[in-house]
Amino acid sequence: MSESLNIAVIPGDGIGPEVISEAVKVLKKAVEGTGKQLELTDYKLGAEHWLATGETLPEETLAALRTHDAILFGAVGAAPGDTSIPSGLIERELLLKLRFSLDHFVNLRPSKLYPGVPSPLADPGEIDFIVVREGTEGPYVGNGGVLRAGTPHEIATEVSINTSHGVERVVRDAFRRANDRERKHVTLVHKHNVLVFAGHLWRRTVEAVAPEFPEVTHDYLHVDAATIFMTTNPSRFDVIVTDNLFGDILTDQAGAITGGIGLAASGNINMDRTAPSMFEPVHGSAPDIAGQQKADPTAAILSAALLLDHVGLSEAARRVEAAVESDIASRDEMTDPRTTAEIGDAILAALA
Amino acid sequence: MSESLNIAVIPGDGIGPEVISEAVKVLKKAVEGTGKQLELTDYKLGAEHWLATGETLPEETLAALRTHDAILFGAVGAAPGDTSIPSGLIERELLLKLRFSLDHFVNLRPSKLYPGVPSPLADPGEIDFIVVREGTEGPYVGNGGVLRAGTPHEIATEVSINTSHGVERVVRDAFRRANDRERKHVTLVHKHNVLVFAGHLWRRTVEAVAPEFPEVTHDYLHVDAATIFMTTNPSRFDVIVTDNLFGDILTDQAGAITGGIGLAASGNINMDRTAPSMFEPVHGSAPDIAGQQKADPTAAILSAALLLDHVGLSEAARRVEAAVESDIASRDEMTDPRTTAEIGDAILAALA
Ligand SMILES: CC(C)[C@H](C(=O)O)[C@@H](O)C(=O)O
Ligand SMILES: CC(C)[C@H](C(=O)O)[C@@H](O)C(=O)O
């Protein structure tokens, strides 16, 4: 284990810099006394950077990012109505390019309803599950095209690509995580009655991997049914494993039922450690509230805890989570008048 | 307008026959006095029929179905664990084959929180929107394949096909329906920041069609964000237009927030009337409760109301809806001990 912990920080756009600056405060504090020397390097990337320079993610920057132990990522993207940036450009050429280039095959998104947090569900029960979303293939590969664009005969295709290599590693990861949890249950979510080719690959893979984990049970849900259970009985979920697109949809819904994506953390993890993993709040750049100290930095701080876990500082990660929990328990969500920095400071104080 | 109303009935599997028999009772009553002569023809199709005969949807049956004014459809499909039927076979070779062969391009799914129905949302507000789901293309086309199946080098693809013909007709239908509604608002749901090719076709089409409806406003949501609003603020929706897969996912979630898919009706509509449209509850065949008179026939009955609308008997459709509303208002959902037939009878009585 090296003495230094070398973290790349990409604050990004909108509320990204605000929430990341709180996460960095907490990260610094959490690393104190672990024997590690935290070194942070800021990278200016995102929509604003593109507007200023025309760069999304230059090869040299990507190469530099590879030298770090992990990446802490804020949020990127222009305001929805902003037409000065081609739609989706920053998402694809920066965020997805990072996930794909650094082989972040496990997109890990824990969902927990913390005590004291009001859920929009009338009777949420206990919610504590993780979604293991595949991060490097599926409908996200950018494969497809357009024929006769703009004419009455236009045809546009999107190709979802799924490989046994890609599916197996993420399914095995889900079972491994389930094995470490109390309930030890994996739910595969797909739509195999319609998406037969990909669906059968996913199902067969689950059946092939399951025997390696004799204590882990598993079941299957179509994605449409999964959104129903997410509403009526989210306690039924322990570990969900699913593809890139279904995972995108379900984790936003999961964020909503656990009190909003202001609390939802995520890790884009390369479990083979051939490249640095990246930790980011599930929320976006929220340009409408940017620069006003209105954003909740909790998701970014919890993402920093996932980062600590990944780099082997699990004890520090647990302390950050406990600090967040104690802060959340003391909130009056309806009237929490605190600024972004004040929430960060409170969590920092709870950590000390 | 012909004197006879010629309806094909496909009860199907599981709870299908039970709920359809109530819908038929109500349909008969509702048509009385409209001057139309109701003629019903039963078609035995579904998983059980396949097990008995090996037939999914023979060409002659499809040809016979084409001669009807409309189709009333229950539910099809085997129990989830049943391995005697190849997974998805009945869904694809019967249900989807009907939707595609009969060019059911508008998959209409209204969502309404009826007074008296408990929602799983703590603060649902008023929910009254419709989803216009594209029904004949997108990821549902069955295009794709598998290479090196069952090996460590397997590749499985799914191709979503989107055409300007297909997108434009459903977008125009959504605007037309919005124009007839009070709030006159269309929300396009897609994921154009990732699914660029299809996403841009959808967006451009909305922009091209919108000027035809100067009173209708419109906005856009990514599908992941849409699931959040469906949880936190479903009142924001008036008319949603979306593709086949996103529509599948969102309408199950919409069913859940409005009190369960036991109430959710749908129409698979060929707006050009080149083939009969088909009306079916959103729920499935629920084999676990089949034959026990436990299923709620309301979704099937509301689907019959959509059928009446489609064949020009709007006044009868309104009467069925009013009867359902009055029955629902009198329910104690928590302790409704009524059988399928008793609920049907109560709605029938309210209609009289
Ligand atoms: C911004 C977008 C490309 C991204 C995704 O779709 O993965 C986001 O929604 C997420 O979930 O991280
Ligand atoms: C049974 C299945 C093929 C179908 C679909 O995916 O369309 C169902 O979920 C529905 O929504 O009607």
Q: Is it the case that residue A219 has pLDDT exceeding 90? A: yes
The yes/no answer on whether domain A119-129+158-258 falls in CATH 3.40.50 is: yes
> If you search the block for the tokens 């605007």, which residue do you land on?
B175
Sheet with strand B128-134: strands edge to edge = B37-42, B4-12, B70-75, B277-281, B265-269, B106-112, B128-134, B239-242, B185-190, B217-222
Quote the pTM value.
0.96
State how far the Cα of B293 lies from the Cα of A6, in Å rounded to an integer.
Answer: 64
Report the DSSP pairing between strands B70-75 and B277-281: parallel
Q: Inspect the interface and report whether the beta carbons of B194 and A145 lie closer than 8 Å.
A: no
Mutation for B interface: A119, A127, A155, A230, most B CBs within 10 A: A155
* Band of pLDDT at residue B237, cut at 50, 70 and 90: very high
Rounded mean pLDDT of B226-230? 98
pLDDT for the residue B80: 67
CB A191 within 8 A of CB A224: yes
Q: What separation in Å is there between the alpha carbon of A9 and the centre of ligand 1?
A: 19
Neighbours of A43 (CB within 10 A): 18
pLDDT for the residue B63: 98
Give chain B's count of helices (H) and strands (E).
12, 12
CA-wise closest residue to A194 among B135, B195, B341, B218: B135
Rounded mean pLDDT of B219-235? 97
pLDDT for the residue A124: 97
How is chain A split into domains, by residue range?
1-109+261-352, 119-129+158-258
Q: What is the pLDDT of residues B62-79, one digit of tens each?
A: 999 999 999 999 999 887
Q: Is it the case that residue A203 has pLDDT exceeding 90? A: yes
Q: Is it the case that residue A225 has pLDDT exceeding 80? A: yes
Mean residue pLDDT of chain A comes to 96
Rounded mean pLDDT of A181-193? 97
Q: Inspect the interface and report whether the beta carbons of A120 and B118 lie closer than 8 Å.
A: no
Q: Inspect the interface and report whether the beta carbons of A157 and B154 lie closer than 8 Å.
A: no
3-state secondary structure B153-208: CCEEEEEEEEEHHHHHHHHHHHHHHHHCCCCCEEEEEECCCCCHHHHHHHHHHHHH
* Band of pLDDT at residue A334, cut at 50, 70 and 90: low
Taking the CA of residue B161 and the nearest CA in chain A, the distance in Å comes to: 5
Q: What stretches of chain B show up as alpha helix (H) in DSSP?
A: 16-31, 47-53, 59-66, 89-90, 97-101, 164-179, 196-209, 223-232, 244-257, 298-310, 314-329, 340-351
State how far the Cα of A8 lies from the Cα of A74, in Å rounded to an integer.
Answer: 11
Please give the number of the atom of ligand 2 that sits closest to the Cα of B96: 3
Q: What is the pLDDT of residues A233-282, one digit of tens each?
A: 999 999 999 999 999 999 999 999 999 888 999 999 999 999 999 999 99
* B144 vs A contacts (CB less than 8 Å): 159-160, 195-198
Query: Which residues is B71 bridged to in the sheet?
Result: B8, B278
pLDDT for the residue B82: 78
pLDDT for the residue A352: 85
Using CB atoms within 10 A of its CB, is residue B210 exposed (0-12), middle (13-18) or buried (19+)? middle
State how far the Cα of A321 lies from the Cα of A211, in Å rounded to an integer.
Answer: 33
Q: Is it the case that residue A166 has pLDDT exceeding 80? A: yes
State how far the Cα of B172 lies from the Cα of B174, in Å rounded to an integer.
Answer: 5
* Band of pLDDT at residue B87, cut at 50, 70 and 90: confident
CB-based contact, B83 to chain A, within 8 Å? no
Of the listed ligands, the closest to the CA of A221 is 2
Would you tell me which residues 100-129 of chain A have a C-beta closer than 8 angstroms to some C-beta of chain B? 118-123
Report the DSSP pairing between strands B265-269 and B106-112: antiparallel
* Band of pLDDT at residue A80, cut at 50, 70 and 90: low
What fold, for B1-110+259-352?
A: Isopropylmalate Dehydrogenase (3.40.718)
* Band of pLDDT at residue B2, cut at 50, 70 and 90: low
Q: What is the pLDDT of residues B194-221, one digit of tens each?
A: 999 999 999 999 999 999 999 999 999 9
pLDDT for the residue B337: 86
Q: Is it the case that residue A196 has pLDDT exceeding 60? A: yes
> If you search the block for the tokens 């399928």, which residue do you land on?
B340
Q: Is it the case that residue A333 has pLDDT exceeding 80? A: no
Using CB atoms within 10 A of its CB, is residue B240 exposed (0-12), middle (13-18) or buried (19+)? buried
pLDDT for the residue B41: 98
* Band of pLDDT at residue A2, cut at 50, 70 and 90: low
pLDDT for the residue B334: 64
The yes/no answer on whether domain A1-109+261-352 falls in CATH 3.40.50.720 is: no
Q: Inspect the interface and report whether the beta carbons of B140 and A197 lie closer than 8 Å.
A: no
Q: Which backbone phi and psi does A85 adopt, to 5 degrees?
A: -120, 125
Q: What is the pLDDT of residues B299-351, one digit of tens each?
A: 999 999 999 999 999 999 999 999 999 999 988 766 778 999 999 999 999 99
**CB under 8 Å, gap of 24 or more: what pairs does A88-94 form?**
A88/B192, A88/B193, A88/B194, A88/B196, A88/B199, A89/A50, A89/A56, A90/A13, A90/A46, A90/A47, A90/A50, A90/A56, A91/B193, A91/B194, A92/A142, A92/B193, A92/B194, A92/B196, A93/A56, A93/A57, A94/A45, A94/A46, A94/A56, A94/A57
* Residues framing ligand 1 (Cβ under 6 A): A 91, 95-96, 248, 282; B 193-194, 224
Buried/exposed B41-66: b ≥16 CB within 10 Å, e otherwise: eebebbbbbbeeeeebbeeebeeebe
> If you search the block for the tokens 């927990």, which residue do you land on?
A112
pLDDT for the residue A324: 97
pLDDT for the residue A262: 86
State how far the Cα of A338 lies from the Cα of A290, in Å rounded to an integer.
Answer: 15
pLDDT for the residue B127: 98
* Band of pLDDT at residue B28, cut at 50, 70 and 90: very high
pLDDT for the residue A83: 79
Would you tell me which residues 183-202 of chain B have a C-beta closer than 8 angstroms to some C-beta of chain A? 191-201
SS3 of residue B99 by DSSP = helix
Rounded mean pLDDT of A187-194? 97
The share of chain A scoring above pLDDT 90, in percent, equals 91
Q: Which of A258-262, A346-350, B80-84, B273-277 has the lowest mean pLDDT?
A: B80-84
Rounded mean pLDDT of A317-326? 97
Sequence-distant (6+) residues with CB within 8 A of B170 are: B105, B106, B132, B134, B135, B241
pLDDT for the residue B332: 77
Would you tell me which residues 292-351 of chain B have a C-beta closer than 8 angstroms to some C-beta of chain A? none
CA-wise closest residue to A22 among A261, A330, A305, A316: A305
- Token pair, residue B193, equals 């920041």
